[in-house]
Amino acid sequence: MLLCTLLAVQRSFAMEAADSARDGLRLSGLDPAGIFLGKAAAVLVQLLVLEALLAVGIVVLYGSHLHGALLLLGSSSAATVGLAAAGTVYGMLAAGLRVRETLLPLLLLPVVAPVLLAATRSWEAALSGATAEGNPWLQLLGVFAVVYLPRRAPPAPSAWRRWLRWRPPSTSGCGSRLRMSSRVIWRG
C-alpha cells in the first residue's frame, strides 16, 4: 500500500509539472483547499480500488475468514484517507523541487509510520476475531486522518459565487411585455 501511495502521489504531481499546469492552477482562481481535496480524493479512489483487490486476494489466496468486517472497513477507510491526505500534503511540499522523486519518500515515510502500524494491528485484530483489541488502533487512524484533512471546506468557485449574486436587470422603463418575458426566462 505504501509503495502504491507514493507512486500515486508522485504521478498526480508529475502531471502538473508538464506544460506548466501548476501555474495555470494558481492563476485559475480556484481555492487551494479545493485543489488539495481534489488531489487527495483522486489518490483516495486509486487506493480504495487497490485495497478492494487486495482484500479479495487475501480471502481467495490465503483462505482467510473476515470476522470483524466493520473493523476492517473502518480501519481501511481511515488509513486510506490518512495516507492520501498526508501524501498530498507532502507531495505539494516536494512538487516544485528537482529532487521531488527522492524527497517525497524521505518526507512521507516517517510521518505515515504510525498509520502503517495502526492499520496492521487493526487488521490483525479484525482477522483474528478480537475486535476489541483493534478499536484503539482504529481511533488512532481516525485522529491521523482528521489531522491531515483541511480545516474548512472549500468555497464555491468564483464563477459559481458570481452566479449566485447575479440578479436579472431591472425593467422599470420597459413595457409590460418585456417585463413578463424576462420573468418567464429567469423563473423557468
Residue 176 is predicted with a pLDDT of 47
Q: Is residue 119 part of a domain?
A: yes
Q: Is residue 176 part of a domain?
A: no
C-alpha span between 123 and 134 (Å, rounded): 7
Q: Is residue 173 part of a domain?
A: no
Residue 180 is predicted with a pLDDT of 46
Between the two ends of the chain, the Cα-to-Cα distance in Å is 51
Q: Is residue 15 part of a domain?
A: yes
C-alpha span between 152 and 154 (Å, rounded): 6
Confidence of residue 183 (pLDDT cuts 50, 70, 90): very low
Q: Is residue 187 part of a domain?
A: no
CB atoms within 10 A of CB 5: 22
pLDDT digits (tens, 9 = 90+) for 48-57: 999 999 888 8
Residue 47 is predicted with a pLDDT of 93
Residue 28 is predicted with a pLDDT of 80
CA 135 to chain centroid: 24
Span 23-43, average pLDDT: 82
Q: Is residue 18 part of a domain?
A: yes
- If one compares 128 and 172, the residue with the highest pLDDT of the two is 128
User: Is 140:117 a contact under the CB 8 Å cutoff?
Assistant: no
Cell of 84: 492520501
Return phi, psi of residue 173, to 5°: -95, 0
Q: Is residue 172 part of a domain?
A: no
Q: Does residue 38 have a pLDDT over 70? A: yes
Q: Does residue 155 have a pLDDT over 80? A: no
- For residue 170, the SS3 value is coil
- To which H or E segment does residue 106 belong? helix 100-128
pLDDT digits (tens, 9 = 90+) for 113-127: 999 999 999 988 888
Span 39-64, average pLDDT: 89
Q: Is residue 186 part of a domain?
A: no
The residue with cell 458570481 is: 162
Split into its structural domains, the chain has a count of 1
Span 3-18, average pLDDT: 84
The HSE-up count of residue 43 (CA atoms within 13 Å, CB side) is 31
- If one compares 149 and 90, the residue with the highest pLDDT of the two is 90
- Domain span at residue 86 reads 2-155
Span 140-160, average pLDDT: 69
Nearest to 145, CA basis, from 178, 179, 99, 111: 111
